[in-house]
Amino acid sequence: MLVALILPNVLSADERPTVLVMGDSLSAAYNIERDAGWVTLLEERLGDDAEVINASISGETTSGGAQRFPELLRQHSPALVLLELGGNDGLRGLSPQQMQANLAQMIEQSQAAGAKVLLLGIDIPPNYGQAYRDAFKRVFTRLADTYDVPLVPFLLEGVALDDDLMQDDDIHPTADAQPMILENVWPALAPMLKGHASHLAAD
């Protein structure tokens, strides 16, 4: 009888929400142990309350992500999608308009499938020119407004300008920076998880 009382409070694998992280090297634990990456730290924090799928690939652009995304959406049926793409578009000087179109496509596909979207913004170095940089950053705010999705304005806030937290390439964060990156994401993500992850109800 005791077992019968306990079991209803335990989420089975089928009942747990899936969180799909669609990103590039910033979410793929580039040049550090994968277990040290912020996505793995998120998985550890959520524990049995959610399944985290990290579909991030180093070097990924929004175009590559848009091509892979429909199959990932079909395969995993996520409740939440964390969209962290665009950095490589910026570093390659690709069109902000095309970047916006690719991200918009993934947001629309997510929402059509019933998934919530959290947009993770990124910045590019000043040497790309202020006009391009401004156009690049506006993509994220414009998408957040258009599709009414929450936005983390800058994933590497408090990290990118700290030499001790960046690798020698000045683009990728170190293992020590990963907990800070998770804390940048968490305030926006936690409210989206309420109702899914039981231990977050009081957060």
Cβ distance 115 to 73 under 8 Å?
yes
Number of H helices, E strands in the chain: 7, 5
Alpha helices per DSSP H over 29-158: 38-46, 62-76, 87-91, 96-112, 130-147
Catalytic residues: 25, 169, 172
Measure the CA–CA gap between 152 and 143, rounded to whole angstroms. 12
Measure the CA–CA gap between 151 and 188, rounded to whole angstroms. 7
